[in-house]
Structure 1
Amino acid sequence: MREKNFRWALWSVLVGLVVFGLKWAAWLLTGSVGIYSDALESIVNIVAAAAALVALVVSARPADESHPFGHTKAEYFSAVIEGALILFAAVEMIRAAWSRFANPEPFEQPALGLALLALAAALMAAWALLLLAQGRRTRSPALVADAWHLLSDVIATTGVLIGAGLAWLLGWWWLDPVVAVLVALNILWVGFKLVRGSVGGLMDEALPAGEVARIKEVIAANLGRALEFHDLRTRAAGPRAFVEFHLVVPGSMPVDEAHAITERLERALSEALPGSVTVIHVEPESEAKKHPKMRLG
């Protein structure tokens, strides 16, 4: 799975290079400040895709003595970098648009330039949707972040395309920088959400409520002769989910039977959350009664 994600990230870099070439050519043909800003944002896409590629390589390393839980959190650093780069691109777009407000200029070869821009947007949209599906399927923050980054670029490019097209058709050249600013504000919002989600992963936020509910259902369905569970804690590190909880069993239950229950629970949780790691603390009923307020299961 990791090798497959690596190939997807590599293709993202190549697609980014093609899209950047199309946008740069569109800017050279038109001279549009909106298209220029959009082309600069595509440079960010290439750098971000390369960062995701490096993160996937690092996160694929197995656990070692210095990193006993593995290197999966490396993908979050890639997502943070992508969010920061999106913010940088948005600021640059606003800066470029601001200088054009005072001196609006007509486009040079609008028809061909806008056609190339439309082709770039279509290529990005198709690739972003494929990348997003792969990232969600493999629980890869790096691929998901890269996909959302591309989708934000599609929105930006579409906005620039509409603004530039209207400016050309109506002769309202001031629309070019106006649309560029509006698109930049949207990109700022997308960048903020990406950074927020990545920081949450680095801070060991719990899994989404839906996944936690599913975990509780799986545990409850596989308790066997165990009495209850409590102190359920979850977190994610890249594509891997970590589940920890206390399992209460009768004090007279043999160790081998308690062990069999924990193995059954681990298998069931692994099927519900592929690639997950489960840690179960077994305790006798007498010990659980000492801490009734701690029960979360």
Structure 2
Amino acid sequence: MSSPADSRTVRTLHVIGVGSIVVALAVMALKYWAYLVTGSVALYSDALESIVNLVASLAALLAINISARPADRKHPFGHHKAEYLSAVLEGVLIIIAAVLIIREAYDAFITPRTIEGFGLGIALSGLATALNGGWSALLIRRGRALRSPALVADGWHLLSDVMTSVGVIAGLTLAAVTGLNVLDPLLAVAVAGYILWSGFKIILSSMSGLLDEAADADIQARIRDVIRRSGDGALEAHNVRTRQAGRVIFIELHLVVPGTMTVNEAHAICDRLEDALEAEIEGSEAVIHVEPEYKAEKRSKGTIPL
């Protein structure tokens, strides 16, 4: 059963996910308007990525809702990894967008285009970029705080969009000043290259989560500290392992107790440790395996004396 804190987290993630869709629609409209006004292939590439942003935001919201479902018979550990799948999908969509941009840039090389309505187009693109920049910062900050891979991936995607938009605006300004319209398709190719890099980066990051990547060093240090503070009565802990699945961190460890200790006494220590770990690491789930003292590994690396 989910706790009130978990329910609040899910509601917050849902609200942010809906906000991402609204922002993506507004940015897409502004950038496509800028393309229609100018006819710039670079602005077209920027608008095309905004369509990907919208699809990615929809996928992120769906993944957040799926990951919030409780464990069931077929998924006893829950649905938390759905967010990683969303992030992989987002990376694939980014790569597809880059390929489409390169194709459009090639057409512009073959048939050069004159840029029109420069001032209005740049103003519209600048407004869309500012909106994207503010929202990307919020997604990354809140996604990290809520341990949501889908939101963090969406935030980095938008940040890459902001960086390319800034480059496009600067490049088109240079093209307008110098009259070198060939800069327009060249900028589009540069945008495509940056987008490709961003897509591969998101995919590789998400694959780590799908492959049960361990919690980061800071969280592992906190786990070991909790074990030292709350393991009174036991002899040592070893084989401490973690794996991260979306917002949940699974913690497993072996706890060595005196051979003369009763099952009730050992169970009480385990309950105390599990409660302390789950209180310290929000959203974590701890499982402890009790062992007799002849199983002690005092000299082994990673052993925690108690």
The equivalent of 1:135 in structure 2 is 143
For residues 224 and 2 of structure 1, the distance between their equivalents in structure 2, rounded to whole angstroms, comes to: 35
For residues 198 and 105 of structure 2, the distance between their equivalents in structure 1, rounded to whole angstroms, comes to: 20
* Alpha carbons 1:232, 1:243 under 8 Å: kept: yes
The equivalent of 1:105 in structure 2 is 113
SS in 2 for 1:242: strand
For residues 169 and 234 of structure 1, the distance between their equivalents in structure 2, rounded to whole angstroms, comes to: 57
- Where does the alignment leave 5 or more consecutive residues of structure 1 unmatched? none
For residues 273 and 149 of structure 2, the distance between their equivalents in structure 1, rounded to whole angstroms, comes to: 27
Q: Counterpart of 1:195 in structure 2: which amino acid?
A: I
Q: Counterpart of 2:231 in structure 1: which amino acid?
A: L
Identity across aligned pairs (percent)?
53
The equivalent of 1:267 in structure 2 is 275
For residues 250 and 137 of structure 1, the distance between their equivalents in structure 2, rounded to whole angstroms, comes to: 40
TM-score for both structures, normalised by structure 2: 0.92
Q: Report Cα offsets for 1:27-63 as digits up to 9, x if no partner.
A: 0000000000110110000000000111111111111
Stretch moving more, 239-248 or 213-222:
213-222
* Alpha carbons 1:152, 1:190 under 8 Å: kept: yes
The equivalent of 1:224 in structure 2 is 232
Q: CA deviation at 1:100?
A: 1.7
The equivalent of 1:278 in structure 2 is 286
The equivalent of 2:190 in structure 1 is 182
SS in 2 for 1:207: coil
Output aligned runs, 1:180-259, within 5 Å: 180-259=188-267
Stretch moving more, 119-128 or 104-113:
104-113
Residue 122 (str. 1) matches residue 130 (str. 2): yes
TM-score for both structures, normalised by structure 1: 0.95
For residues 253 and 185 of structure 2, the distance between their equivalents in structure 1, rounded to whole angstroms, comes to: 55
Q: CA deviation at 1:256?
A: 2.6
For residues 221 and 124 of structure 1, the distance between their equivalents in structure 2, rounded to whole angstroms, comes to: 45
Residue 169 (str. 1) matches residue 158 (str. 2): no
For residues 15 and 235 of structure 1, the distance between their equivalents in structure 2, rounded to whole angstroms, comes to: 33
Q: CA deviation at 1:277?
A: 0.4
Q: CA deviation at 1:232?
A: 1.3
Task: Spell out structure 1 runs of 4+ moving beyond 6 A.
Answer: none
Stretch moving more, 145-154 or 100-109:
100-109
Q: Report Cα offsets for 1:128-187 as digits up to 9, x if no partner.
A: 111111111111111111111111111121111111111112212122222222222122
**RMSD of the alignment, in Å?**
1.7
For residues 12 and 165 of structure 2, the distance between their equivalents in structure 1, rounded to whole angstroms, comes to: 29
Residue 84 (str. 1) matches residue 95 (str. 2): no
Q: Counterpart of 1:109 in structure 2: which amino acid?
A: G
The equivalent of 1:6 in structure 2 is 14
* Alpha carbons 1:72, 1:240 under 8 Å: kept: yes
Q: Report Cα offsets for 1:246-269 as digits up to 9, x if no partner.
A: 011111123233222222222222
Check 1:209–1:294 CA distance in 2 against 1; reply closer, same or farther (3 A cut).
closer
For residues 217 and 101 of structure 1, the distance between their equivalents in structure 2, rounded to whole angstroms, comes to: 61
- Where does the alignment leave 5 or more consecutive residues of structure 2 unmatched? 1-8
Q: Counterpart of 1:164 in structure 2: which amino acid?
A: L
**How many equivalent pairs are there?**
296
SS in 2 for 1:229: strand
For residues 303 and 180 of structure 2, the distance between their equivalents in structure 1, rounded to whole angstroms, comes to: 62
* Alpha carbons 2:223, 2:277 under 8 Å: kept: yes
* Alpha carbons 2:45, 2:191 under 8 Å: kept: no
Q: Counterpart of 2:175 in structure 1: which amino acid?
A: A
SS in 1 for 2:181: coil
Q: Report Cα offsets for 1:195-226 as digits up to 9, x if no partner.
A: 11111111111112222222222222322121
Output aligned runs, 1:39-54, within 5 Å: 39-54=47-62
Q: Counterpart of 1:143 in structure 2: which amino acid?
A: L
For residues 173 and 220 of structure 1, the distance between their equivalents in structure 2, rounded to whole angstroms, comes to: 66
Residue 148 (str. 1) matches residue 162 (str. 2): no
For residues 153 and 176 of structure 1, the distance between their equivalents in structure 2, rounded to whole angstroms, comes to: 17
